[in-house]
Amino acid sequence: MLTIQNFNLTNTKSSFQLDQSMDEFTRSLDPGLFTTFITLQNRSRVIGLKKHLSRLNDGTEDVLFDEILRNKLKRYLDLFVGNEEIKVRVVSIRKADETDLYFIGEPYIPIDPDYLENGIVVNLSMVIRETPGMKSTAYISKSNDERNENLKLGVYESLIVKNNLIREGFTSNVYFIKDQKLITAARNILSGVTRKVILTIARQQGIPIEYRSLRIGELQSATEAFISSSSRGVVPIKTIVGYEFKGKGRGDITKIIQDQYFRNIFDLSERI
């Protein structure tokens, strides 16, 4: 059950609960910007919180906006009882004279450990993000039918393809390992909060990075692949449209990055 709080930048409007999914409720709102993350350490910390909140302000750093949202987030999390971590989505809808904000949250259910070790199944999609650098709620509706079909087929994620180049996932960034290098798109993608952490880890571990999109024809020569997102961390890919990576799960480089990410998750986070 979703716990929802609606307010503008000065006044709280209402709190309520609904028996529907986070995406369903988001699609019922007017178009806007959104960001999604999970809490850590008894709901006291979030990885990359400052960047998450700046997404709601068109990527512009605004100290006052950041402070208001942090205070609202603290008050919102007080609605939850117990020690469960929360998956939170914040939606910002700008109107002529005010900004409406929705905090939407539900108890966080960690990803299946089997996926973290043995990998997920993904496919390729031609559904593109019209504004790759922004998290627009319109994209949730645009990709909804395909994501529902994926659930029926046991496909965990779709990777977006344009001009024969694999750019990113519906809800994630994607990385490939080829010739012992990490390959990830540099442009025409949403630069995820977790992506920045992944790239820092790769540099610290001495893993070469090649900033470009992988061509579909290169899949046969890639030895590993994984996705990243704020709510899932680092998840290896087992299969892409029938192609099974040689390791059939988490490869050596993916394991190094994944282990470093989860081992240092507290240090990577910031206090709300």
Q: Are residues 199 and 260 in the same domain?
A: yes
| CATH number reported for the structural domain that contains residue 70 in this entry | 3.30.470.10
Residues in the chain: 272
**107, 136, 164 — which closes off a domain?**
107
What's the whole-number average pLDDT of the chain?
90
pLDDT at res. 99: 85
Q: Are residues 158 and 96 in the same domain?
A: no
SS3 52: helix
User: How does residue 59 score in pLDDT terms, banded at 50, 70 and 90?
Assistant: low
Q: Which two tokens stand for residue 114?
A: 């089997």
Q: Tell me the CB-side half-sphere exposure of residue 125, using CA atoms within 13 A.
A: 23
Distance (Å, whole) CA 105 – CA 88: 4
- Cβ(209)–Cβ(202) below 8 Å: yes
Q: Are residues 146 and 248 in the same domain?
A: yes
- Cβ(181)–Cβ(205) below 8 Å: no
pLDDT greater at residue 24 or residue 61: 24
- Cβ(126)–Cβ(103) below 8 Å: no
Q: Are residues 45 and 155 in the same domain?
A: no
Average pLDDT over residues 211-236: 95
Beta carbons within 10 angstroms of residue 71's beta carbon:
11
Distance (Å, whole) CA 167 – CA 215: 9
Q: Are residues 152 and 264 in the same domain?
A: yes
| CATH number reported for the structural domain that contains residue 142 in this entry | 3.20.10.10
Q: Are residues 6 and 76 in the same domain?
A: yes
**107, 133, 161 — which closes off a domain?**
107
pLDDT per residue over 159-193, tens digit each?
999 999 999 999 999 999 999 999 999 988 988 89
Domain assignment of residue 150, given as a range: 113-268
Q: Which two tokens stand for residue 31?
A: 């178009």
Distance (Å, whole) CA 190 – CA 209: 18
Q: Are residues 253 and 119 in the same domain?
A: yes
User: Which ranges of 78-178 would DSSP assign to H, the alpha helix?
Assistant: 113-118, 137-142, 144-153
Q: Are residues 127 and 261 in the same domain?
A: yes
Q: Are residues 10 and 96 in the same domain?
A: yes
Look at residue 130 and tell me whether its pLDDT is greater than 80: no
Amino acid at 209: I
Look at residue 115 and tell me whether its pLDDT is greater than 90: yes
Distance (Å, whole) CA 174 – CA 55: 20
Beta bridge partners of 270: 46
**107, 132, 167 — which closes off a domain?**
107
Q: Which two tokens stand for residue 101?
A: 């904000």
Q: Are residues 10 and 139 in the same domain?
A: no
Q: Are residues 143 and 210 in the same domain?
A: yes
Percent of the chain, pLDDT > 90? 65
Q: Are residues 146 and 69 in the same domain?
A: no
Domain count, the chain: 2
pLDDT at res. 53: 92
Distances (CA, A) of 24 to 18, 19, 29, 30, 214: 10, 10, 9, 12, 32
